[in-house]
Structure 1
Amino acid sequence: MLRGLATLSLYADDVVAARAWYAEVLGIDAYYAFPREEAPAYVEFRIGDDEDELGIIDARYAPADRPSGPAGVVAYWHVDDLAASLDRLLALGATPHLPVTEQGDGSGFVTASVVDPFGNILGIMTNPHFVAMREARTAARSGAAS
């Protein structure tokens, strides 16, 4: 039934500031803004190996019962260097949410999360399964090109 991440949506009171902050974090600009580039109600980035979509929606359009503090599902994005990524997020103004935590039996799944300056939880992790799947896709593509 669930086939993969289509779009992860975050809310922000100031979409322009959130777009600038995430552009700095991601090292890329949003590729889409609606309705206008200078005063958007929604912006979207395509990030990572699969160009997953990260959308930022004006908080005016959030559900009425949206919690006032960080809450809900935490999406964890794979990073190659967890410590460096966490340090960079904190240096850019995120605040700690959950500390670096080894998950399970020492198999390399390590998580941490921060709260972005707009009140959204942003999870990061090292994920051996993500790395293995990325390597398998790369191998399949290079095998198909041969």
Structure 2
Amino acid sequence: MSLRGFATLNIWADDVEAATAWYADLLGIEAYFTRPGPDGRPAYTEFRIGDYQAELGIIDRRYAPAGTATGPGGVVMHWCVDDLDKTVERLLAMGATEYQPITPHGDGGFVTASVVDPFGNVLGVMKNPHYLDVLASLKAT
């Protein structure tokens, strides 16, 4: 078994339409896929974002497995960003709340922060020199 790389990150929302609009504003793109539920409201929407067109899916919380946390917690997925300070500032201005402040990790240039989006999901962002090195090496080939 080997983990080949992140493919899809799913988050939960009570109001998928509102969450989709919030993330569209944050990302500067519209969701490319929407699936309605039996009531006609969006049950799932998906964005393709970043250097590798990773998938960010928003799922109606009604479909969450039993026992799924309703508040922040669990794994924090960190997205590499170009300007960590400005990204955190923008997230907070958009109504997210601080979960972990901007935190340097050693002297290697790795810095993380995370917020809770208005829908209760943790969104991690980071400055990650390793990610940029790998991306540069792939573009050089």
Q: What TM-score, normalized by structure 2, do the two folds share?
A: 0.95
Unaligned regions of 5+ residues in structure 1, if any? 141-146
Equivalent residue number for residue 64 of structure 1: 66
- What pairs with 1:1-146 in structure 2 (closer than 5 Å)? 1-35=2-36, 39-103=41-105, 105-140=106-141
Query: Which amino acid letter does the alignment assign opposite residue 127 of structure 2?
Result: T
Report Cα offsets for 1:7-61 as digits up to 9, x if no partner.
Answer: 000000000000000001111000000037x721000000000000000000001
2:108 and 2:27 map into 1 onto residues whose CA distance is 27
The structure with the largest strand share of the pair is: 2
CA RMSD after TM alignment:
1.1
1:68 and 1:34 map into 2 onto residues whose CA distance is 22
Query: Which amino acid letter does the alignment assign opposite residue 29 of structure 1?
Result: E
2:11 and 2:41 map into 1 onto residues whose CA distance is 17
Question: How much does 1:134 deviate?
Answer: 1.0
Secondary structure at the counterpart of residue 16 of structure 1:
helix
Secondary structure at the counterpart of residue 42 of structure 2:
coil
Question: How much does 1:66 deviate?
Answer: 1.5
1:35 and 1:75 map into 2 onto residues whose CA distance is 26
Unaligned regions of 5+ residues in structure 2, if any? none
Equivalent residue number for residue 144 of structure 1: none
Moved over 3 A (4+): none
Identity of aligned residues (%): 59
1:10 and 1:68 map into 2 onto residues whose CA distance is 11
